[in-house]
Amino acid sequence: MKIAVAIIAAWLFMILQGRLFQKFWDRGLTARLSFVQRAAVEGDTGQLKEIITNRKFLPLPVLHVKFQMGRYLVFSASNNFKITDQNYRSDIFSCMPWQEIRRTLDFTCKKRGYYHIGSIDLVSYDLFFFGHCVATVPEDTFMYVYPGPADPVRLELPLKNLMGQILARQALLKDPFETQSVRPYQSYDPYKTVNWKATAHTGELKVNVYTPASSWNVTILLDMEAERLWTDEDLTEESIRLAGSMAKWMIDRGIPVAIWSNGCDCLTGLPSRLDAGAGKEHLRSILELLARVQLSTGTAGAHGMRNADPNSALDALYANKQASPGIRLNTGAKIAGENRHVTMEELLFYMIDKRSNSFSTDSTLYVMISPGQRKSLAEHFDALCRQSIGSQWILPRRPDNELRIAPLRFAELYDWEVPYGHSYT
């Protein structure tokens, strides 16, 4: 009789604790994840903070904390993760009453990108492991991995040539109403530049040095369209590294830089675009944009706007406001209810047509970074550079893909060979 009563009592206790556990297990339970760094560079290491807090009397003998993030953030020293399309991680804790657990996880940034963790799954069991409880906690932490640097030795020639073009044009175009400084007269100086007040004050001829009439800027055109049916990711990633390295080099020297790309921003779904600017904050915006840019969904030559006016279609695209980096949304680049793929030819045509109204014809140099070797692409870019002589096309290609593009009339063509195995991953 006593044994039967004990069994019944134990059975009732297990049912009671199970129900109490189901009701109270997640009260006072919080889980948080946060990246220690806001940004890193390809190849760098980063850290993720994990904080679990149990603010109640009920212990949690087993608590699984599960989350997923980008597959190219690889944890350094742990077996609690699995990488497929994402990096799936599951940690096991034992939380006593009124306990807080803190843990720092080290990882390596294998590839540039925008990495966001949107939720945490919590799984626990009652005191006798007869039932389990599941909850999903919203999370909102993100990190940028900037593209790594391109080879500075190989990049030195196009950058110096570009700077030479800018300095030469600044020397030719002067503002006669704004004086920069005064210097001694030289035999080649015209008399109209003589500063008579300074001459009278010093007793020797002095001339005015005028400031440049216009501020030169560089627009980088980044082509994210696959040249073949299959995508060579190493080639496109090298293109992004070139864009980032060139932008940094020019901004460090005070030259405003703009970025235009037919690759979509992963936050907005719109073709990536950033107007000209300078300074450290603008450089950070460029690197963040390059981290978010995605490959175009179409294949080379598949003009997604062939049945629509490219100008009106792109005007509609750019009328949409770009989302700020802190907003998670995916509106999609939609015009008239359809997804519109933007080719680099269409983007160049748009810039040529709108240049008289929206772009400076006299103070912009263009740098196109594209592995495409299409005749139409060369014609469109040459037409864009007609009034911007000194612009450049950097063409990344594989060693077994011969250079087929003929020299351009109004722009310099730079061959950028990318050997196989050249990757940060």
The pLDDT tens digits of the residues spanning 219-247 come to 999 999 876 667 788 899 999 999 999 99
If one compares 340 and 408, the residue with the highest pLDDT of the two is 408
- What are residue 227's DSSP bridge partners? none
Tokens of 344: 């680099």
The arithmetic mean of pLDDT across residues 104-125, rounded, is 93
Burial class (CB in 10 A: 0-12, 13-18, 19+), 241: buried
Confidence of residue 11 (pLDDT cuts 50, 70, 90): low
Please state the separation of Cα 250 from the chain's center in Å.
Answer: 18
The arithmetic mean of pLDDT across residues 374-403, rounded, is 91
Stretch among 6-15, 97-106, 184-193 having the lowest mean pLDDT: 6-15
* Contact assessment for residue 226 and residue 344, using Cβ atoms and an 8 Å cutoff: no
Residue in the block written with tokens 């006299």: 362
Q: Is pLDDT at 336 greater than 50 in this prediction?
A: no
- Tell me, what's the pLDDT at 354? 73
Q: What is the DSSP letter of 299?
A: B
- Tell me, what's the pLDDT at 317? 65
Tokens of 128: 């006798």
* Dihedral, CA of residue 286, residue 221, residue 170 and residue 246, to nearest 10: 50
Q: Is pLDDT at 90 greater than 70 in this prediction?
A: yes
- Starting from the edge strand earliest in sequence, which strands make up the sheet with 217-222, in order? 271-277, 257-264, 217-222, 364-369, 391-397, 411-417
Cα radius of gyration rounded to whole Å, the chain: 30
Tokens of 201: 């004050």
If one compares 48 and 176, the residue with the highest pLDDT of the two is 48
- What are residue 146's DSSP bridge partners? 41
If one compares 371 and 186, the residue with the highest pLDDT of the two is 371
- Tell me, what's the pLDDT at 338? 38
- Tell me, what's the pLDDT at 360? 47
Tokens of 419: 């050997």
The arithmetic mean of pLDDT across residues 131-158, rounded, is 92
Q: Is pLDDT at 139 greater than 60 in this prediction?
A: yes
Hey, is 332 helix, strand or coil?
coil
If one compares 325 and 345, the residue with the highest pLDDT of the two is 345
* Contact assessment for residue 238 and residue 398, using Cβ atoms and an 8 Å cutoff: no
- CA 378/CA 396 separation, integer angstroms: 14
If one compares 401 and 315, the residue with the highest pLDDT of the two is 401
- CA 315/CA 230 separation, integer angstroms: 30
Confidence of residue 67 (pLDDT cuts 50, 70, 90): very high
Q: Is pLDDT at 19 greater than 90 in this prediction?
A: no
- Tell me, what's the pLDDT at 308? 46
- CA 374/CA 315 separation, integer angstroms: 25
Stretch among 22-36, 103-117, 309-323, 347-361 having the lowest mean pLDDT: 309-323
CA-based nearest residue to 273, from 320, 234, 236: 320
- Tell me, what's the pLDDT at 425? 55
The arithmetic mean of pLDDT across residues 135-149, rounded, is 94
- CA 16/CA 27 separation, integer angstroms: 17
Report all structural domains of the chain as residue ranges with CATH numbers, in order of start.
24-146 (2.60.40.10), 152-170+214-417 (3.40.50), 179-212 (no CATH)
CA-based nearest residue to 373, from 277, 255, 235: 235
